Amino acid sequence: MKIYVLKQKSVSLPSIFLLLLLFVLPQEAYFQKGNNVFAVSRVISDVKKRYKLNSQDVTKIKPLINRENNDIIQLYARFSTEEPEYSHRLWQEMIVQRRDFETRKVILTKRQKVALRAARTGMEKRLLNYLVGDYVNFLGQLLNLGEFEFNDVQDIFETDKDKKYGLATNYLFNSVLLRKELEIVSEETERAMRKILSNEQWRDYRSLSGPDDSVASL
């Protein structure tokens, strides 16, 4: 059973806190403190066990995982604001970051590369889960959704997230096809939302779309 929780519309304190920590503390000191939301210790433990990494492997990839997590945290802080955003702009930035990650020249063994890629994927999925949760809670308040409407909207955006992440993974370097497929999923999501929302709710929902809310620049 899904939990129906609505946030008060206020400045996102966790986002501000994350950014302050990133700028005030040295990066390694920040990660040693183990932020509850985006701690890397669990990620490192998981890939170490899954890929049977030794201490040398962990020493090699740990700073790289920290760097990737730093990028993830900055994305979360940027899009989880007073009005949480789940948009094409988010996907554009995620895709650009992932392309940079995949083309980065780093000397690693095959096992280390696979483990690092798995860590990045896990952190991206965690980011998306948080952002979709923030966004759906925001919509619940903005549109005054009832419990059943809220659950339906949550299902719609969970499906949108999962489909788009799969597309971004499969067609990362095929910009034309990726753009086309992402637009198809977005259209499916909009149709599903239109069926649920009243005319007034639909107008309020559509007012959230900005002029740059497209995947044209992928």
In a domain, 7, yes or no: no
In a domain, 187, yes or no: yes
Dihedral sign, Cα of residue 7, residue 10, residue 13, residue 16 = positive
> How many independent structural domains does the chain possess?
1
Spatial neighbors of 200 by CB under 8 A, at least 6 apart, are none
pLDDT value, residue 14 = 52
CA-closest candidate to residue 197, choices 157, 145, 155, 162? 145
In a domain, 217, yes or no: no
Rg of the chain over CA atoms, in angstroms? 19
For residue 210, give the DSSP letter: -
pLDDT value, residue 216 = 53
Distance from the Cα of residue 78 to its chain's centroid:
11
Q: Please list the ranges in the chain whose pLDDT falls under 50.
A: 1-12, 15-16, 19-35
Q: How far apart are CA 88 and CA 213, in angstroms?
A: 5
Instruction: For 159-216, write each residue's pLDDT tens digit.
Output: 999 999 999 999 999 999 999 999 999 999 999 999 999 999 999 999 997 655 555 5
In a domain, 6, yes or no: no
In a domain, 3, yes or no: no
In a domain, 192, yes or no: yes
pLDDT value, residue 135 = 98
- Domain of 202, in residue numbers: 13-206
pLDDT value, residue 210 = 62
Q: What is the pTM of this model?
A: 0.81
pLDDT value, residue 37 = 63
pLDDT value, residue 6 = 40
Longest pairwise C-alpha distance within the chain: 59
Spatial neighbors of 203 by CB under 8 A, at least 6 apart, are none
Q: How far apart are CA 137 and CA 71, in angstroms?
A: 24
In a domain, 8, yes or no: no
pLDDT value, residue 38 = 79
Structure tokens given for 218 = 């992928």
Q: How far apart are CA 2 and CA 36, in angstroms?
A: 22
pLDDT value, residue 8 = 38
In a domain, 1, yes or no: no
